[in-house]
Amino acid sequence: MIEKAGSAKWMGDLKTGKGLVSTESAALKDQPYGFNTRFEDGAGTNPEELIGAAHASCFSMALSMILGESDFVPEEISTTAKIYMDKKDGGFAVVKSHLTVAGKVPGASEEDFMKAAEAAKENCPISKLLDCEITMTATFA
């Protein structure tokens, strides 16, 4: 079993408090987050942005793996995951992740790419983790 960790520290109340988020690898170290970065336009990160980065990176790796199973080596896969949060059941919930992917895969057809992208959308570990609608726009070059 693989284990990876992230950590967060929070100081203060919800609206004026401040937090720091870090990853085990130190790729993120004491990055600020707070109410203003989540619900307003404050500087720093927020949980939804981090989920988007996790989903985009996981999906891209899964797509590369699936294409590789057909002996296609992607020159480039560029993915953005937009995370949507809305009021639900008396609170807030992540209700959707929309993947926008563009791929350049020598030797593959558009059909090959789209089939692999759909499989990656359904089967990457972060897609499996998210309990929300996952949509996708894919562009093959």
Domains of the chain (ranges, CATH numbers) = 6-39 (no CATH), 47-140 (3.30.300.20)
Q: Are the C-beta atoms of 34 and 47 separated by less than 8 Å?
A: no
DSSP class of 27: S
CA–CA distance from 83 to each of 1, 65, 67, 80 (Å)?
28, 24, 25, 10
What is the pLDDT of the chain when averaged over all its residues? 96
Confidence of residue 113 (pLDDT cuts 50, 70, 90): very high
Question: How far, in Å, CA of 54 to CA of 87, rounded?
Answer: 22
Q: What is the pLDDT of residue 141?
A: 86
The dihedral region occupied by 84, where left means phi > 0, alpha psi between -120 and 50, and beta the remainder, is beta
Q: What is the pLDDT of residue 2?
A: 92
- Kindly tell me if the per-residue pLDDT of 83 is higher than 90: yes
- Kindly tell me if the per-residue pLDDT of 42 is higher than 90: no
Question: How far, in Å, CA of 26 to CA of 46, rounded?
Answer: 17
- Kindly tell me if the per-residue pLDDT of 32 is higher than 90: yes
Q: Is the dihedral of CA 51, 53, 55, 57 positive or negative?
A: negative
Q: What is the pLDDT of residue 123?
A: 97
**Nearest residue to 85 (alpha-carbon basis) of 97, 73, 93:** 93
